[in-house]
Amino acid sequence: MQVGLHIRITDSLHALVEKALRLEIPFFQCFFSIKNKMALLRPTEQEIADFVGARRTHFTNLYAHGSYWINLASVDHTGHYALDRELQLARSLEFTHMVVHPGSAKGAATKQAGIDAAARSLNKALKKQPGIQVLLENTAHGNMTIGGDLQDLAAIYQKLDNPERVGFCLDTAHAHVYGYDIVSEQGRADFITLVDQQLGLARVALLHVNDTHDGCASKLDRHHLLGQGTIGLHALQAFVTNPRLQHIPLLTEPPVIDEELEREQLTLMRSWYTHQQ
Ligand SMILES: [Zn+2]
């Protein structure tokens, strides 16, 4: 299994490609905003052409991560505009997937209203932007946030006009802090069975393998280096190399660390597949 990395764009698409090549990864994920700037990247025609050339030569799948200001579950029915812009950019750069969090039903009377809004937003955006796959990611938070509970993702999926365009991304840190037990052997087995029942394992197209300082059910979303958190190396390795999940591409989304540490995290993940427990 080949592993990937979430890379923050520091100044340009060119620097992003250079970094991915230095780290020898076959695929990566990124946001379409420059680190610490609340604005979408605006590449020139030439930058797009250069990126596409490199992308075709060096990489397999490419995952864009939708900006955190996209709220598909917004009940004022505007959630699809922000997604539409980012899907358009992703397509022009020949990304294969866009990972999105469903968002929050904040301001709505019920969580169900947010689930309905998220499905409507996805239906609109997918019709305008053919080709690219959207991956709905499980999230860390509770209350009116949609997607911590796997049932929320299943409920959105059931309302899609084009379900073949949508899959799922499972984040280990989010599952843990939301309250699913993936640390104990029995808990992990039960969680994987639940994923299969609610979402269908065949629809899980990406794993985000992350650790966290925070405890199970803390509802806090703070990633930490693999093996230095409350999930731990044994549980993370056992999860991603479980026979039911081991065919799924995975990447890690570390906190801000230097490139040497990122390289070490990748080496660690690769070793899981050569020394299976
Ligand atoms: Zn994630």
The CA 208 to ligand 1 mean position distance, Å, reads: 5
Looking at residue 68, what is its pLDDT? 83
Position 43 pLDDT exceeds 60 = yes
The CA 6 to ligand 1 mean position distance, Å, reads: 9
The CA 15 to ligand 1 mean position distance, Å, reads: 22
263 and 16 Cβ atoms separated by less than 8 Å: no
User: What is the SS3 assignment for 95?
Assistant: coil
Strands (DSSP E) contained in 138-233 are 145-146, 166-171, 204-208, 211-212, 223-224
223 phi and psi angles, rounded to 5 deg: -80, 150
User: Is residue 92 within a helix (H) or strand (E), and if so which, with residue range?
Assistant: helix 79-92
CA dihedral 182→188→192→195, nearest 10 degrees, is -30
The CA 45 to ligand 1 mean position distance, Å, reads: 30
155 and 110 Cβ atoms separated by less than 8 Å: no
**pLDDT per position as a tens digit, 201-211:** 999 999 999 99
Q: Sketch out the chain's domains with CATH numbers.
A: 3-258 (3.20.20.150)
The CA 231 to ligand 1 mean position distance, Å, reads: 15
The CA 46 to ligand 1 mean position distance, Å, reads: 31
Q: What percent of the chain has pLDDT over 90?
A: 77
The CA 68 to ligand 1 mean position distance, Å, reads: 12
- pTM listed for this prediction: 0.95
The CA 67 to ligand 1 mean position distance, Å, reads: 12
